[in-house]
Each structure stands twice: as C-alpha cells, then as structure tokens.
Amino acid sequence: MAKSIDVSDVNIYYGDFLAVQGVNMTVRAGAVTAFIGPSGCGKSTFLRSLNRMHEVIPGARVEGKIVVDGQDLYEPGVDPVAVRRQVGMVFQRPNPFPTMSIYDNVLAGLKLNAGKLKKNAADEVVEKSLRGANLWNEVKDRLNKPGMGLSGGQQQRLCIARAIAVEPQILLMDEPCSALDPISTSAIEDLIHELKNDYTIVIVTHNMQQAARVSDDTGFFNLKATGEPGHLVEFNPTKKMFANPDDPATEAYISGRFG
C-alpha cells in the first residue's frame, strides 16, 4: 500500500507571497524521506502541500504537480478530503482530540470513512493500530480514559496510531519529536523504522542526527537569501548527503557552518 510521490515544478504561495519555489523530487515508496533546513525555509509548508493541508490557510495555494499513484493531487476535481484520507499526517505537537477517549481517538478517522463499525471489528482496529504505534502495552488497560491524560510521547504515538488506523498510503510527519524528551523521541524513531515496511514516510526534522538515523533519502531546503522564496537545494540518499553532499551549501549546513 506504500506509494511513491512525484513532485514537479511545485510553487507554494501564501496569498501573493511565494514561499517555496520550483521543487522537483521523487519520494520513494516504502522509504523514509527526511527534509532538513533552517527555520522558515519552507520545508513544513512543502510537507503540508503533500496532503493539501496547506490550502487550509486562507489565501494559500499550490502550483505544479504532485503525483501519487498516477493521480495528480492538484488536478481540478480532486477532493482534498479524499487526498487526506490517503495521505495521513502527524503534527509537531501531539494533538489527540481532548474530549475523546484513547479508544475513540484511534477510531476517529475510521468513523469518518466507514461510519459505524461493529464492536469487535472496531476493537481489532484499535488493538492493531495501537500495537503498530508501540503503545498497546502501555494503554491496553485504560482505553476508555481520555487521550489527554497520556504523557507527551504517548500522546504523539496515539496520534500516529490514529493516523495509521485509516491505513493511508503515505504518512507525513512534521517535526514529530520536537516537543518530546529523548526517550520518547527514541521510541518514535524505532517506530518509524517499523512503519516504513508498510508506509511511505516523509518527515520534517530540525535534528540532523535524527535525519541521519531514520531516513533513507534526505532533502535540504534553504532560502536563497532573506526575503527570497525557499527552494530545494539538494535531494540525495541520506548516506551520500551526510558523507559527501553535492552542494557546498548542504555541507555547510550539515557541518554547522551557515551561509
């Protein structure tokens, strides 16, 4: 069910402001692709354009082609709601639904798609998704407690369980560990390794070690200059990127020397 993403000539706007310019890349199926780059370079913006979440902001729009499974996501007539059911997303800060129990949080997306589920089918999905997110053993005795009662790392894994419960083709993660402690971060990174067997994963991270640890491919975004749009500087296998990057700017960023 993992699918590749072909991105060609994508420009992303906030109103009249061009935020990201001319991105071309191919995200491989069943691999982990990481985006790195300084704050404000448009990597999160680009990530959000992959499941049409970018346009939720008033005035925001995307030009160019993003093709998943032979279908351009931005073709007229494509419903963004349908896109988001295929391309799941995990956010920077854990955001379980505060009024729902752990159980209902996992099923939230599925209920939208399938309506009422039979009790035992629902139980099965909840267990499978929570096991998939490495959370089952910690919460199996309190599934009916609110999701907000969990620790930050557990909440984030709950959000991952919620995203994979609808069995998307692609999973986007926007700095999923930046609000977590190192132990929770390590748990999520282990999880990413397991998840890539079933999903194409795209992750934005500020942590270079994390990109090096979890990803197969890495894209480096940067601003050409202050006030200029962000762009994709280099896109290569992670091993090459961190050992022998093509672009001197990439090397400067990775080794901690900017500009």
Partner 1 sequence: MTAPTTEAEDAPAASWASVRGGAGDRIFSGAALLAGLSILAALAGVFIFLAIKGVTGFTKPAEVYGPHAESFVGYVVPLLVGTFTASIIALIIAVPLAFGIALVISHYAPRWIAAPVAYVIDLLAAVPSVVYGLWGAFYLAKKLVPMHQWLHDHLGPIPVIGHLFGEPSPAGRTLLTAGIVLAIMILPIITAITREVFSRTPRLHEEAALALGATRWEMVRMTVFPYARSGMVSAVMLGLGRALGETMAVTMVLSVGFDLSWNVLATSSPTSIAANIALKYKERSADLLNVLVATGLVLFLLTFLVNFLARWIVGRSERRMAR
Residues in contact with partner 1 by CB under 8 A are 51, 53, 56, 58, 81-82, 84-85, 88-89, 91, 93, 95-99, 101, 108-109, 112-113, 145-146, 159, 162-163, 166
- Report, in Å, the least distance between residue 89 CB and partner 1: 4
Closest distance to partner 1 from the beta carbon of 112 (Å): 5
Cα–Cα distance measured from residue 23 to residue 4, given in angstroms and rounded to the nearest whole number: 16
Q: How far is the CB of 212 from partner 1 (least distance, A)?
A: 27
**Closer to partner 1 at the Cβ: 199 or 235?**
199
- Report the residue number, 49 or 250, with the smaller CB distance to partner 1: 49
SS (H, E, C) 111-152: HHHHCCCCHHHHHHHHHHHHHHCCCHHHHCCCCCCEHHHCCH
Q: Which is nearer to partner 1, 82 or 121 (CB)?
A: 82
Give the shortest CB-99-to-partner 1 separation in angstroms: 4
> Going along the chain, which residue ranges are E strands?
5-14, 17-27, 32-36, 60-68, 71-72, 87-90, 170-174, 200-204, 217-223, 230-237
* Identity of the residue, 101 or 218, whose beta carbon is nearer to partner 1 in the bound complex: 101
Report the residue number, 17 or 248, with the smaller CB distance to partner 1: 17
Choose between 81 and 183: whose C-beta lies nearer to partner 1. Answer: 81
**Residue 29 token pair:** 């199926």
Among 94, 125, 131, residue whose Cα is nearest residue 111? 125
| Least Å from the CB of residue 229 to partner 1 | 23
**Closest distance of CB 77 from partner 1, Å:** 16
From residue 88, give the alpha-carbon distance in Å to each of 36, 159, 168, 243, 248: 20, 10, 6, 31, 34
Residue position matching structure tokens 């939208």? 112
Would you tell me how many other CB atoms lie within 10 Å of the CB of residue 118? 8
- Residue pair 118/127 in contact by the 8 Å Cβ criterion: no
Question: Given the structure tokens 């906030």, which residue do they identify?
Answer: 14
Q: Which is nearer to partner 1, 58 or 256 (CB)?
A: 58
Is 182 in a helix, a strand, or coil? helix
Smallest separation, CB 187 to partner 1 (Å)? 20
